[in-house]
Amino acid sequence: MSTKVPQNAEDQEIDLVLISKKFSNFFARISTSIFKGIQFFIKNWVFVLILIVVGFVVGIVLDRTQKIYDSQLIVTPNFGSVDYLYAKIELLKSKINEQDTLFLRKEVGFKDPLILSKIEIKPIADVYRFIENKENNLELIKLMSENSDVNKIIEDNTTSKNYTYHKILFTTSGFIDDDNTIQPLLNYLNKSEYYKKIQIVALKNIQEKIAQNDTILNQINVLLNSFSKSANKSNSTVYYNENFQIDEVLKTKQKLIADQGYNRLEIINSDKIIKENSQVLNVLDTKKINGKLKLILPFLFLFLFISFRFVLIFYKKQSKKQL
Residue ranges of the domains in the chain?
A: 4-65+290-322, 69-124+164-284
Tell me if 172 sits within 8 A of 117, measured CB to CB.
Answer: yes
pLDDT of residue 274: 94
Higher pLDDT pick, 287 / 284: 284
DSSP 179: I
Confidence of residue 94 (pLDDT cuts 50, 70, 90): very high
Minimum mean pLDDT range among 18-27, 57-66, 69-78? 18-27
pLDDT at residue 116 is higher than 70: yes
DSSP 113: G
Beta bridge partners of 280: 72
pLDDT at residue 142 is higher than 90: no
pLDDT of residue 240: 47
What's the CA gap between 85 and 24, in Å, rounded?
Answer: 69
Q: What percentage of the chain carries pLDDT values higher than 90?
A: 29
**DSSP sequence for 197-231:** HHHHHHHHHHHHHHHHHHHHHHHHHHHHHHHHHHH
Minimum mean pLDDT range among 23-32, 41-50, 192-201? 23-32
pLDDT at residue 141 is higher than 60: no
User: Phi and psi of 170, rounded to 5°?
Assistant: -110, 145
Task: Describe the chain by its helix, strand, coil percentages, rounded to 5.
Answer: 70, 10, 20
What's the CA gap between 131 and 234, in Å, rounded?
Answer: 47
pLDDT at residue 277 is higher than 50: yes
pLDDT at residue 143 is higher than 90: no
Residues 238-262: tens digit of each pLDDT: 444 444 567 787 888 888 898 888 8
CA distances from 171 to 17, 120, 178, 280, 292 (A): 64, 9, 15, 12, 18
Task: Please give the biggest Cα pair distance in the chain.
Answer: 128
What's the CA gap between 183 and 110, in Å, rounded?
Answer: 9
Residues 172-205: tens digit of each pLDDT: 988 888 899 999 999 999 999 999 999 999 999 9
* DSSP reduced 3-state for 173: coil
Buried/exposed code over 37-55 (b: 16+ C-beta within 10 A; e: otherwise): eeeeeeeeeeebeebeeeb
pLDDT at residue 216 is higher than 80: yes
Cβ atoms within 10 Å, residue 245:
12
Higher pLDDT pick, 141 / 258: 258
Confidence of residue 132 (pLDDT cuts 50, 70, 90): low
- Mean local confidence (pLDDT), 22-33: 74
pLDDT of residue 242: 43
What's the CA gap between 186 and 277, in Å, rounded?
Answer: 11
Confidence of residue 100 (pLDDT cuts 50, 70, 90): very high
Minimum mean pLDDT range among 32-36, 82-86, 235-239? 235-239
Confidence of residue 11 (pLDDT cuts 50, 70, 90): low
pLDDT of residue 296: 80
